[in-house]
Amino acid sequence: MMILFMITFNSCNTPLTPDDNYYISMLMILIVGLRDKAFTDEDMDRLKALGADVHRTNRGGLATFHGPGQLVAYPIINLKKHSIGLRE
């Protein structure tokens, strides 16, 4: 759901769009990245059976767990608007 929102936000973003922050509290979710080859489909099924929401992603990294009560912040900042590049 957050990924869909971010794609929508980026597609309608203009120089006048204000920066913003979004805060989300998730239930139990595990996101598995490309670098975690040891995480098998059996592992995925086992965690889903325990009630976890498990997703593979095409992003780098290993695995990221978000649990109940954890607050995740997504700052949305237009770097071009602030004349900032990723390497600055």
Q: Is residue 81 part of a domain?
A: no
Number of separate domains in the chain = 1
> Where in the sequence is the domain holding 18, given as residue range(s)?
2-76
Q: Which of 37, 27, 41 is nearest to 61 (CA)?
A: 37
Tell whether 40 is covered by a domain. Answer: yes
Beta strand extents in the chain (DSSP E only): 20-25, 29-32, 53-56, 63-66, 71-76
- The verdict on residue 87 lying in a domain is no
pLDDT score recorded for residue 6: 54
Write down the pLDDT at residue 67.
82
The answer as to whether 21 is a domain residue is: yes
pLDDT band at 2 (very low <50, low <70, confident <90, very high): low
Q: Is the pTM of this model over 0.75?
A: no
Q: Note whether residue 86 is domain-resident.
A: no
Is residue 30 a contact partner of residue 65, using CB atoms and an 8 Å limit? yes
In this predicted model, what pLDDT tens digit does every residue of 8-61 receive, in sequence order?
555 666 666 778 888 888 777 888 887 767 788 888 888 889 888 888 888 777
58 vs 48: CA distance, rounded Å: 20
| Residue 63 contacts residue 39 (beta carbons within 8 Å) | yes
Query: In which element (H, E) is residue 19 found?
Result: none
In a domain, 84, yes or no: no
**pLDDT (0 to 100) of residue 43:** 84
